[in-house]
Amino acid sequence: MFEIVAFYLFSILTIFMFGITVFTNNALYALSSLAAGMIFISAFFFLLNADFLGIVQIVVYTGAVIALYAFGMMFFDSMSEVKEKIQNPGLVFLFSGLAALITVVAFLSPIVSNNIISEYAIHPEYGNTQDVGVVLFTKFLVPFEIAAVMLLVAMIGGIILAGKKMDVSYSELSEDEIDALESSNEKDSK
């Protein structure tokens, strides 16, 4: 009974958080709700007694979202709202939803069938966690380290780019001054 209640609770919270991510105009709200949604997804792994995958979900994916959050804080003015130039956003949302639904159905159809056989059996003593660690740090050590170096270089580049001073801070201006500044920037870019 506890698992059913927890599943529905985490399902509602996850959908709510990703809904905020999709529908908000503020980049920092979107990134915060994306991180919370990723943490709620890890709860499903814990409910399935896949503790290692739950921890990996939190560390890897939520950590990536937090890094994205830091880049968002450095590059975007969190006080301004995003103005999209989509002519018909409802139609775009409908087609995007249909494409996502078709993709999910295409990937779920083999899973629903009974033809799936596990390639590696679960080790009776310690599960597959140690096997994943051995493969990750032997066969995939070089790609793992290359990805870490690439993330470090991207972070240093983001810090250097964000360190350059802006002429005007958008958070200190009134809305009329922001509109005037943006219209002058649009004229300069043309």
pLDDT tens profile 131-169: 777 777 788 778 778 877 887 887 777 667 666 555 556
Across the chain, mean pLDDT equals: 75
Sign of torsion over alpha carbons 109, 113, 117, 122 = positive
Residue 116 has pLDDT above 60, yes or no: no
Quick: pLDDT tens for 13-60.
999 999 988 888 777 788 888 888 888 888 888 888 878 888 888 888
* Short-list 31, 79, 88, 42, CA closest to 178: 79
Q: What is the 3-state secondary structure (H, E, C) of the chain?
A: CHHHHHHHHHHHHHHHHHHHHHHCCCHHHHHHHHHHHHHHHHHHHHHCCCHHHHHHHHHHHHHHHHHHHHHHHHHCCCCCCCCCCCCCHHHHHHHHHHHHHHHHHHHHHHHHCCCCCCCCCCCCCCCCHHHHHHHHCCCCHHHHHHHHHHHHHHHHHHHHHHHCCCCCCHHHCCHHHHHHHHHHHHHHHC
Sign of torsion over alpha carbons 23, 25, 29, 34 = positive
Task: Supply the pLDDT for residue 66.
Answer: 78
Collapsing DSSP to helix, strand or coil, 136 comes out as: helix
* Short-list 47, 64, 92, 56, CA closest to 148: 64
Q: How far is Cα 116 from Cα 113, in angstroms, rounded to an integer?
A: 7
Biggest alpha carbon distance in the chain? 68
**Report field, pTM of the whole predicted structure over 0.85:** no
79 and 170 Cβ atoms separated by less than 8 Å: yes
Domains and CATH numbers, the chain: 1-81 (1.20.120.1200), 129-190 (no CATH)
Band (pLDDT 50/70/90 cuts) for residue 97 is confident
Stated length of the chain? 190
Task: Supply the pLDDT for residue 166.
Answer: 56
